[in-house]
């Protein structure tokens, strides 16, 4: 082969090599451009996702805020309702307390109404006895009338109201039933004994309402030294 042909061959090979190099560079450039496009697409997608995510978070926060506001409003309404109920209950209780107090006062005020009504009949009888005594000037009739009224009165009080008089003379001295006004020594008794009834006592349903005022005989010294009026 001649030198000319060899140079031509070499030139052709060099061109081919350059074309291959250029082709490789072009391919590499294309690959880089493709990578850049992909990266840009990914970045765009990431930004879009970030924007969407931010939007979702904002929507979630907005929804949460609305829910909290609704809860606060609901609790506020319930609180107001409970306050109103409490005020009403307090007012009702105060009215109830006042009514009970008023009824109690009225009950105390008129507790003896029936007793007093029964006593008006006795007052009527006394008025008639007094008028009869004025007209007749008969002391014995007046005395008998008063005795009858007194008997009727004590019977009425005993049957309807449980008030009874009790006798004390001759009974052993009882400090729960008797009030000693006077005392004397006596050799006729061996224990403190009621010998005189100055004012008779009364029982109300078997309970001492008023003790009797009495005179008490104490045993003379030597009869019973241990028995004394208390």
Asked if the model's pLDDT at residue 71 lies above 80, the reply is yes
- pLDDT given at position 47: 56
- pLDDT given at position 142: 85
Question: Cβ atoms within 10 A of the Cβ of 72, count?
Answer: 10
β-partners of residue 208 are 203
Give the model's confidence band at 77: pLDDT under 50 very low, under 70 low, under 90 confident, else very high: confident
- E strands, the chain, are 163-166, 178-186, 193-199, 201-204, 207-210, 212-219
Asked if the model's pLDDT at residue 59 lies above 90, the reply is no
Whether the Cβ atoms of residue 145 and residue 132 lie closer than 8 Å to each other:
yes
Rounded Cα distance between 192 and 185, Å, is 9
- pLDDT given at position 229: 46
Write down the CATH superfamily of domain 164-230.
Head domain of nucleotide exchange factor GrpE (2.30.22.10)
Sign of CA dihedral 56, 62, 63, 64: positive
Structure tokens at 80: 């107001």
Rounded Cα distance between 142 and 127, Å, is 11
- pLDDT given at position 230: 43
Question: What residue segments make up the domains of the chain, in order of their start?
Answer: 1-100, 112-161, 164-230
- pLDDT given at position 184: 93
Give the model's confidence band at 227: pLDDT under 50 very low, under 70 low, under 90 confident, else very high: very low
At 101-125, the pLDDT tens digits run 999 998 888 888 899 999 999 999 9
Q: Which residue has the higher pLDDT, 69 or 52?
A: 69
At 159-174, the pLDDT tens digits run 999 999 999 999 999 9
Sequence-distant (6+) residues with CB within 8 A of 148 are 125
Q: Which residue has the higher pLDDT, 75 or 7?
A: 75
Asked if the model's pLDDT at residue 134 lies above 90, the reply is no
Asked if the model's pLDDT at residue 141 lies above 70, the reply is yes
């Amino acid at each position: 082969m001649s030198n000319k042909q060899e140079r031509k061959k070499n030139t052709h090979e060099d061109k081919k090599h350059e074309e291959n190099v250029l082709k490789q560079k072009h391919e590499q450039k294309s690959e880089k451009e493709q990578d850049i496009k992909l990266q840009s697409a990914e970045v765009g997608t990431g930004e879009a996702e970030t924007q969407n995510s931010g939007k979702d978070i904002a929507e979630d926060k907005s929804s949460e805020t609305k829910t909290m506001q609704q809860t606060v409003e609901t609790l506020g309404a319930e609180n107001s309702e409970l306050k109103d109920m409490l005020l009403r209950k307090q007012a009702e209780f105060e009215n109830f307390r006042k009514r009970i107090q008023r009824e109690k006062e009225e009950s105390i005020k008129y507790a003896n109404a029936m007793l007093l009504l029964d006593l008006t009949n006795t007052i009527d009888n006394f008025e008639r006895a007094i008028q009869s005594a004025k007209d007749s000037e008969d002391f014995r009739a007046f005395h008998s009338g008063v005795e009858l009224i007194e008997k009727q009165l004590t019977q009425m009080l005993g049957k309807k109201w449980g008030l009874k008089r009790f006798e004390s003379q001759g009974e052993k001295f009882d400090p729960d039933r008797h009030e000693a006004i006077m005392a004397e020594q006596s050799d006729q008794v061996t224990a403190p004994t009621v010998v005189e009834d100055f004012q008779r006592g009364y029982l109300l349903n078997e309970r001492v309402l008023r003790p009797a005022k009495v005179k008490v005989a104490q045993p003379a010294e030597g009869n019973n030294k241990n028995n004394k009026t208390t």
